[in-house]
Structures are given as structure tokens and as C-alpha cells.
Structure 1
Amino acid sequence: MPDYERLSTLQSYVWTLELLGEALVQHDEVLECEHNPQLSFRNTAGIHQAIRIISRLASEQFGKLEAMKEESVSGD
């Protein structure tokens, strides 16, 4: 995968993390008005799991970019 594709993928992951974070904040605000702990727990757990998965994928892509950067520096 070329560098620009990796950077584009990372940008998409970060934007998705921001959206999930916002959804979590809004969800917490809604919970202050509602009282349905089973639903709130399931939704919150799903959002947290999605954040962990996307964070891991972003870290993997960033690690690949860093490795490629080090290879190009040592190759010069």
C-alpha cells in the first residue's frame, strides 16, 4: 500500500474515532435524561469496542509508515 493510501486510511480512522467519541458524549448526555441501563450499557460497550478496534488498526498503519520511514532513512 503506498504512503498516501496509508495516510488516507489513517485520516479516515482518526475521523471515525472522533465521530465515535462524539457519539459517546452525546449518548452519555441522553442517559442523564433516560433510565435504561441495559440499553445504555450495550450501546456504550459497542462504541468502546469500535474505538479499540479502530485505534488498533490506526496504530498498525502508523507502525508500518514509521518502519518504511526508518528503512528509507537507513537506505540513504
Structure 2
Amino acid sequence: MTDNERLSSVQSFVWTLELLGEALVQHDEVLECEHNPQLSFRNTAGIHQAIRIISRLAAEQCGKLLKTDEEIPVDSR
């Protein structure tokens, strides 16, 4: 996988995390306003698990990008 592909993957992961985070915020607002929430505990747990998985994948790709940067000599004159 090239660096550009890794960056694109990280960008997609972060965008997905943003959407999942927004879903949790909306869920919290529903819980505050209604006594009959739209999302069940199981769905909320699934969103949290998805966030953990996507965060791990993004961290792995960032780690690979940082490792690539460390392999390139700083002074390549």
C-alpha cells in the first residue's frame, strides 16, 4: 500500500469516526428528550465497538506512515 493510499484510508476512517460520533450525540439527545429511545443498548454498544475498530485501523496506518518517514534520511543532500 502506498503512502497516498494509507492517507486516503486514514481520511476515510476519520470521516467514519466523525459520523459514528455524531450518531452517538444524536442518540444522547434522543435519550434526554424521550423515554423510548430509538437505539437500543445493543446498537449503542455496536457503535462503540465500531469506533474502537476504526480507531485501531487508523492508528495502524498512521504507524506505517510514521515508520516510512523514519526510514527516509533527514539530510539527503
Q: Which has the higher helix share?
A: 1
Query: Identity of aligned pairs, percent?
Result: 80
Which moves more between the two structures, 19-28 or 65-74? 65-74
For 1:45 and 1:21, locate their aligned partners in 2 and report how far apart those are by CA, in whole Å.
13
Q: Which amino acid aligns with 2:6?
A: R
Task: After TM superposition, give the deviation of residue 15 of structure 1 in Å.
Answer: 0.4
Q: Which runs of 5+ in 1 are unaligned?
A: none
TM-score (norm 2): 0.86
For 1:4 and 1:51, locate their aligned partners in 2 and report how far apart those are by CA, in whole Å.
23
Q: Which runs of 5+ in 2 are unaligned?
A: none
Large movers: runs of 4+ above 4 Å: none
The alignment's C-alpha RMSD in Å is 1.7
Q: Count residues with an aligned counterpart.
A: 74
TM-score (norm 1): 0.87
